[in-house]
Chain A
Amino acid sequence: MDIFLQQLINGIVLGSIYSLVALGYTLVYGIMGLINFAHGDIVMVGAMVTLTVARLLSDSGLPGPLVLGIGMLAAIPACMAVGYLIERIAYRPLRNAPRLAPLITAIGVSILLQNLAMMIWGREYLSFPQILPTQTMAVGGASISAIQILIVASSTIMMAGLSSLIRKTRLGNAMRATAQNPEVATLMGVNINAIVSITFVLGSALAAVAGMMVSAYYGIAHYDMGFILGLKAFTAAVLGGIGNIEGAMLGGLLLGIIESMGAGYLGTLTGGVMGSNYQDVFAFFVLILVLIFRPSGLLGERVGERP
C-alpha cells in the first residue's frame, strides 16, 4: 500500500510536468496542425537557464524558493524568445509548403538547439544546486517533499490560468477561431500571424516552467534531456487527444501515473526480469496502443488523415 501511494504521488508530480509540456504541443497543434518537434528542446533551454541562474545565486544567501523564482523569471523570457524565433525562422516561411517540409525543419531546429546547448553548457550532466528544503512530509506511509508540492501547485495554477485565457479572453477567442478556420478568422479581423506567434510564445513559456521543474526536481540537466521528455509529453498530448487543452492535462497526469506505477511494479511483476531501466519504454507503448485503439485520444475528436 505504501508503495502504491508513493508511486501515485510520484506519478502525479511527474504527470503535472508532462501536462505542462504536452500543453505546448497541443496548443501549437490545435492552431496550426503542426507538431513542433523542437518543443522538448525548449524545455531543455528553460532547464539550463534556470540552472545557470540558480548556480549563480546559490551562494547569495537568498531563500531557495526566491532563487528558483528568479531563475524562472529568467527562463521564461529566454524560452519565449527561442519559441518566437523558431516560429519566425523555421515554420512561418513554410506555411504553404508540402507537409513534409515543416516536419523536416522542425527536426533540424531540434538538432540545432541541442548542439548549441552542448556548446554553451557542455556535454556533461549539470547538477542543480540544493536550494530547496529537503525534508519531507509523511502522508499515510508515503512522503511528499516541498518541491513536489510546489510542482503540483504551480502547474495547477498555470493550467487553470491557461484554460481561462482560452475560454474567456478576446485573445483566447481569436485563438480558437484560428484553430477552427484560419481563413474565416482572418475575415473576422484576426491577425493570424500574431496569433500563431503568441501561441508559440505561450507554449514556450509553459515549457520554461516545466524545464525549471524538471531540473529542480531531478537535480540534473543535460543538453539532450528534452528529447525523451518531449516524446513523452507528445504521447501525453496524443493520449488526451491532441489539440485538446483538457486532454493534454488529463493525458499528462495519466501518463505520469502509468509510468511511475510501471517503474514501481515492473520488477516484481516480471520476477526481476525487467527493471525500472525500461521506464522510458512505457510511454512509447502507450503511444502505440493509443494510436491503434483510439487515435483521437481520450477527449479528442476524430483525427484522420483528412478529417
Chain B
Amino acid sequence: MKKYLKLAAYAALLLLLPFATGLALGKTWVRILDFALLYVMLALGLNIVVGFAGLLDLGYVAFFAVGAYCYALLASPHFGLHLPFWMILPIGAFAAGIFGMLLGAPTLRLRGDYLAIVTLGFGEIIRIFLNNLDTPYNITGGPQGVDLIDPIRLGPFSLNQPPGHAVYSYYFLFLLFALATAFVSMRLQHSRIGRAWAAIREDEIAAEAMGIDTRNVKLLAFAMGASFGGLSGGLFAGFEGFVSPESFTLTESIMILSMVVLGGMGHIRGVIFGALLLSILPEALRYVGPLEQSLFGKIVVDPSSLRMLLFGLSLILVMLLRPAGLWPSPARKRELLAHGDTAKHENTGVYDAGR
C-alpha cells in the first residue's frame, strides 16, 4: 500500500511539475525542463555504452545528429516529405544504430582507447559532412541546416497546439519517452545481455572464457546506445522545428558524458540525477554574467566558457575523488573502491589494466 502511495505521489509531482514551474518561473523554465528530459534520454542511452559495457564513447552527439537529421529530412519541405513521427523515429533510431555498428565494428575488437578516439573523430567528421553536404546536391542544407520541420502529430492533434503552449505538450511526450528509456535500461541491466556487459566491463578475458561473444555483445551495446541517441535526436528535431550542425558539437558530447560520469556510471537513478543536475544547474550560470557586471563592472569570465570549465573540472574531480559518481550504485561502489589485492592483481601494467 505504501509503495503505491509513493508511486502516486511521484506521478502527481511529475504531472504537476511543468504547470507549477510555468506559473512560478515562466515558460522559459518549462522549456528547460523539456530539454532536461531529452538529456535524461541521451544520458541513459550513453550509459548503456559507458556505464553498462564500459566502452568510452566521446562522440555520442553524432548519433543524436543522425536521428535529428533523419527526422528533419523526412518531415519537412526540404525534400517535400512529411512522414508521420511514429515512422520516422524508428527510422532515425535504426539509422543511428547502423552508424554505431559501422563505427564499432573495426574498433571494438581492439583496446577501448581506440574506440574513444575514433568516436571523438566521428563526432567531428559527421559535423564536417553535415556542413558540406549542401553541394552539389543539397542534402543537409549545409551550415544553415533544415528548418520548417513538422511538429510531432498524434493523429489530428499537433503537439504545437494550443499555440504558445507547445512546451507543455512536449513535456508529457518527453516524459513518456524518458520513462520508457529508463524502464528499458532497467530491464536491460538485469537481462542476460546486461550481465554479459557487466562481465565484459569487469574483465574481458574472463567474460570470453565464460562463453560470451565479447565482440558482438560490445557491438550490441554500442549500437543500442546509438539508437537511443537517434531516437532522442528525432524528438529534438520535432520539438525545435529546426536543426543545424551547430547543435551537434563536441561540447554536447562532453556534457552528456559528464552527466553519466557525475551521476554514477551504470547506475540508472544516478545517471538520471546527473542529467537533471547538469541540464538545469548551468541555466543558473546565465545569472553569472549580470552578477559579474555588477561586481566588477565588466564581464571577467565568459559564462559559457565557465560552464565548460566546470564540466572539465567535474570530470577530473569525480574520477579522482568519487570514481563511482555522486550517486553510485551499491555494487559499483564496491567494485570501484576495491583497493588492495583485486585491484593490484588486475593491474600489472603501470596504468593499463589490460596488460
Q: Measuring CB to CB, which residues of chain A are less than 8 angstroms from any residue of chain B?
A: 31-35, 37, 89-91, 93-105, 107-112, 114-116, 118-119, 123, 178, 182-183, 192, 196, 227-228, 231, 234-235, 238, 272-274, 277-278, 280-281, 283-284, 287-288, 291-292, 295, 303-307
Given contacts A32-B350, A108-B315, A182-B350, contact A291 B302 (CB under 8 A): no
Report whether B319 and A32 are in contact in the complex, using a CB–CB cutoff of 8 Å: no
Report whether B110 and A109 are in contact in the complex, using a CB–CB cutoff of 8 Å: no
Residues in A with CB closer than 8 Å to B261 are 104
Report whether A33 and B349 are in contact in the complex, using a CB–CB cutoff of 8 Å: yes
Report whether B250 and A291 are in contact in the complex, using a CB–CB cutoff of 8 Å: no
Residues in A with CB closer than 8 Å to B111 are 303-305
Q: Measuring CB to CB, which residues of chain B are less than 8 angstroms from any residue of chain A?
A: 50, 54, 56, 58, 106-107, 109-114, 116-118, 120-122, 124-125, 128-129, 131-132, 135-136, 204-205, 250, 254, 257, 261, 265, 301-302, 305-306, 308-309, 311-316, 319-320, 323, 336, 339, 343-344, 347-355
A302 to B136, CA, bound (A): 42
Compute the total of residue contacts between A and B using a CB distance below 8 Å.
175
Report whether B350 and A178 are in contact in the complex, using a CB–CB cutoff of 8 Å: yes
Given contacts A95-B351, A119-B305, A234-B117, contact A111 B128 (CB under 8 A): no
The A interface, classified by DSSP as helix, strand, loop or mixed, is: helix
Residue of A nearest to B54 (CB): A100
- Beyond A96-B347, A227-B124, A273-B136, 11 additional contacts (C-beta under 8 Å) are A33-B351, A35-B113, A90-B316, A105-B320, A107-B58, A119-B302, A196-B350, A234-B117, A291-B118, A295-B110, A303-B111
Report whether B257 and A104 are in contact in the complex, using a CB–CB cutoff of 8 Å: yes
Residues in A with CB closer than 8 Å to B54 are 98, 100
| A56–chain B nearest beta-carbon distance, Å | 23
Report whether A33 and B56 are in contact in the complex, using a CB–CB cutoff of 8 Å: no
Report whether A278 and B132 are in contact in the complex, using a CB–CB cutoff of 8 Å: yes
Report whether A34 and B352 are in contact in the complex, using a CB–CB cutoff of 8 Å: yes
Of the candidates A112, A119, A238, A287, the one whose C-beta lies within 8 Å of that of B313 is A112
A33 to B112, CA, bound (A): 11
The B interface, classified by DSSP as helix, strand, loop or mixed, is: helix
Residues in A with CB closer than 8 Å to B336 are 97-98
Residues in A with CB closer than 8 Å to B113 are 34-35, 103
Report whether A104 and B308 are in contact in the complex, using a CB–CB cutoff of 8 Å: no
**11 sampled A-B residue pairs with Cβ under 8 A:** A33-B352, A37-B116, A97-B343, A98-B54, A100-B54, A103-B56, A107-B116, A272-B136, A273-B135, A303-B110, A306-B204
Residue of B nearest to A117 (CB): B305
Residues in A with CB closer than 8 Å to B312 are 108-112, 114-115
Residues in B with CB closer than 8 Å to A104 are 56, 257, 261, 315, 319
Of the candidates A31, A95, A118, A287, the one whose C-beta lies within 8 Å of that of B305 is A118
Residue of B nearest to A185 (CB): B350
Residues in B with CB closer than 8 Å to A99 are 112, 351-354
Q: Which 7 A-B pairs have the closest CB atoms?
A: A108-B315, A111-B312, A33-B352, A112-B312, A108-B316, A292-B106, A115-B309
| B249–chain A nearest beta-carbon distance, Å | 10
Report whether B311 and A111 are in contact in the complex, using a CB–CB cutoff of 8 Å: yes
Residues in B with CB closer than 8 Å to A112 are 309, 312-313, 316
A114 to B305, CA, bound (A): 9
Report whether B301 and A182 are in contact in the complex, using a CB–CB cutoff of 8 Å: no
Residue of B nearest to A112 (CB): B312
Residues in B with CB closer than 8 Å to A108 are 311-316, 319
Residue of A nearest to B336 (CB): A98
A109 to B314, CA, bound (A): 10
A70 to B100, CA, bound (A): 47
Residues in A with CB closer than 8 Å to B121 are 231, 235, 283-284, 287
Report whether B117 and A101 are in contact in the complex, using a CB–CB cutoff of 8 Å: no
Residues in B with CB closer than 8 Å to A93 are 320
| B146–chain A nearest beta-carbon distance, Å | 20
Of the candidates A32, A34, A235, A280, the one whose C-beta lies within 8 Å of that of B128 is A280
Residues in A with CB closer than 8 Å to B136 are 272-273
Report whether B117 and A231 are in contact in the complex, using a CB–CB cutoff of 8 Å: yes
Report whether B125 and A284 are in contact in the complex, using a CB–CB cutoff of 8 Å: yes
